[in-house]
Amino acid sequence: MQLRYQFRVYPTPGQQIKLARAFGCARVVFNDGLGLRQQAHEQGLPYVSDAELSRQIITQAKKTEARAWLGEVSAVVLQQALADLNTAYRNFFASVTGKRKGRKVAPPRFRSRKDNRQAIRFTKNSRFKVLDNGRLRLPKIGDLDVRWSRSLPSDPSSVAIIRDAAGRYFASFVVQSTDEALPPVESEVGIDLGLTHFAVLSDGAKVAAPKFLRRAARKLKRLQQALSRKQRGSQNRKKAIVKVARAHARVADTRRDWQHKLSTTIIRENQAVYVEDLCVTGLGRTRLAKSVHDAGWAGFTSMLEYKAARYGRTFGRVDRFFPSTRMCSDCARINDKMALNVRSWDCPCGSHHDRDVNAAKNVKAAGQADFNDRGAQVRPGLVPAPRGEAVTHPDAAYSTRSVEGSPSFRAERMSKVGGA
């Protein structure tokens, strides 16, 4: 399994200038390649191949006066920028033709120097190296100071240098990691995600929603107001933008750290984990959009999925249209729709349900039926009929008032035909 290990790096002022130059060259190469292909499409010319694009945009462009400064950065950075463009085009074509499932992919767009995120990538061909003293040596940039929080499991195949909106630099390594199967356990769990409680487990445990964005709303409001007062294009406005970006980055980092700890705990304690496939995109268009995005359900479920694959656990998604909330987990009766303020309800079978716990139990049962080899059922098994319910005994005589297709109905019909 390929994993990414990301670490904070602290380039010197001179290295920051070199990185900015590399960001700009990669952006220019990407935009030149995109413009050339768009121009060929508008003129009705054939699609420019990857090799021809590299020859015109990089090899020949370096020989011109207008693009001679492309030789100041590593050639691998420029080649990887074109590789990103080619991947974007392939994803777009696969989405248009229907080969790529999911949401439609838009065609690639031009990159801007004002984008919040700038990144370049070095592969093994560039001969980057992690030195014995812990520094990261990059061609034509120098040795970067890396703050290692853990060791890499194997030699990295590539490294991306990222600069975010808050002005922080990161080194993201791609490494090959072997699966580390955890000791098997007996417990399985279904998870119902929500807003009041971030996660409700089928065993009755409830995890309160931290609401990191709501807790930081007062500080964000103050910083945003200060930003709105700054004159456009001024240096003070740029400083205020960085302050707002740092506040948002702190919220995102705190949320991600909390989700990592919770997902790791759930994966370690359960052999199988089942969640409901929520349409986060659709919920993000409702009046609860801010709370939905603050919860971060998509990021949490993706953590559960890749950690289950890495540690030998089972992970399954239950269909979003499965009536987990309205179905009784005891008798499988599906009740009418309930408002969001109804947190508990009684089933005609006599069971009293907590709304979220009942949904988590149904998600677990549905997940076991779809993903388990033991033949677990979504609906409960057969139970003895109540004494007052109408039954048919083997030794009872057939009634003359039977439905069509029964032996008594056919015998009665044949006697009438013979008598006529």
Select which of 32, 188, 192, 294 is catalytic: 192
Residue among 309, 223, 318 at smallest CA distance from 267: 309
* Structural contact between residues 198 and 191, judged by C-beta atoms closer than 8 angstroms: no
Element (H, E) at 207: strand 206-208
Q: What backbone phi and psi angles, to 5 degrees, belong to 311?
A: -105, 15
Is 192 in the active site? Answer: yes
DSSP string across 114-141: T-S-EEEEEEGGGT-EE-TTS-EEETTT
Cβ burial 45-70 (10 Å sphere, 16+ → b, else e): eeebeeeebbeebbeebeeeeebeeb
Select which of 32, 188, 276, 305 is catalytic: 276
| Integer Cα distance of 195 and 295 in angstroms | 7
Per the listing, tokens 């359960």 go with 270
| Integer Cα distance of 37 and 43 in angstroms | 10
Residue among 147, 148, 150, 175 at smallest CA distance from 160: 175
* Structural contact between residues 344 and 355, judged by C-beta atoms closer than 8 angstroms: yes
| Integer Cα distance of 168 and 119 in angstroms | 12
Select which of 32, 188, 305, 356 is catalytic: 356
Residue among 141, 127, 125 at smallest CA distance from 79: 125
Tokens of 35: 């413009």
| Integer Cα distance of 117 and 256 in angstroms | 18
Residue among 22, 48, 9 at smallest CA distance from 137: 9
Element (H, E) at 302: helix 297-310
| Integer Cα distance of 378 and 394 in angstroms | 30
Is 179 in the active site? Answer: no
- Strands annotated E in 297-349: 314-318, 344-346
Is 65 in the active site? Answer: no
Q: What backbone phi and psi angles, to 5 degrees, belong to 282?
A: -70, -40
Query: Which residues are known catalytic residues?
Result: 192, 276, 356
